[in-house]
Chains A and B, each alone.
Chain A
Amino acid sequence: GQQLNQSPQSMFIQEGEDVSMNCTSSSIFNTWLWYKQDPGEGPVLLIALYKAGELTSNGRLTAQFGITRKDSFLNISASIPSDVGIYFCAGFGGTSYGKLTFGQGTILTVHP
């Protein structure tokens, strides 16, 4: 089946630093989604991307849909302690027949 390669797997940063994570795929996706999951909770949608090249912001978060439609990145600026959690990229498209394919997740730790 389709796979998304998400990196890095984990990040340890200081409060105030910027963060960048990305996902790549060997196949084309039509939609890219970025989610954040807090411990013991379900994932919460952060940003949705629908067009190649699209750059979308949500507060301190910015995500882009790669031109090739095979990658996406998420940036977090000026991180704060509540940014801690697991971030997942996910995508629709290709041979997934409507199912959402998830990346492996990036565990973010922010030191005050």
Chain B
Amino acid sequence: GAVVSQHPSRVICKSGTSVKIECRSLDFQATTMFWYRQFPKKSLMLMATSNEGSKATYEQGVEKDKFLINHASLTLSTLTVTSAHPEDSSFYICSARGGGPSGELFFGEGSRLTVL
């Protein structure tokens, strides 16, 4: 299947700092990528849809000024958690649709953010 890669896999930061997470589609181009947040032993919660060359579409209740999304190329989307606080600690996962006609969603490895 298609390969989606995230970086970093783990990050620890101090409260008040900003953290950037990258999501790359390695063997296909993705005009649309999705960012999810997941709490322990819970399902994935869609945060936003990242659109190449245009603004991201945020789900209800997700602060767009806090979670900045940039999709500058067909293979890279970034999520920046601004002024991070301990409650932002979570597992963040990106996904993208594979290049074939089937449209399956492939996920990155996830990024564990811990805000101290």
B44 at the interface (CB under 8 A from A): yes
Bound complex: CA A88 to CA B91 (Å) = 16
- A40 and B112 within 8 A (CB): yes
A24 at the interface (CB under 8 A from B): no
| Among B49, B104, B109, B110, residue most surrounded by chain A Cβ atoms (within 10 Å) | B104
Chain A residues contacting B42 (CB-CB under 8 Å) are 104-105
Interchain pairs with CB closer than 8 A, number: 51
Q: How many residues of A contact B (CB 8 A)?
A: 23
- Taking a contact as CB atoms closer than 8 A, the residue among B6, B34, B44 that contacts A88 in the complex is B44
- A33 and B104 within 8 A (CB): yes
Chain B residues contacting A50 (CB-CB under 8 Å) are 102
Which of A's residues lie within 8 Å of B, judged by CB?
31, 33, 35, 40-45, 48, 50, 86, 88, 90, 92, 98-100, 102-105, 107
Can you list 19 A-B pairs with a CB-CB distance of less than 8 A? Answer: A33-B104, A33-B105, A40-B112, A41-B109, A42-B107, A42-B109, A43-B44, A43-B93, A45-B107, A48-B104, A88-B43, A88-B44, A100-B46, A100-B105, A102-B44, A104-B43, A105-B41, A105-B43, A107-B41
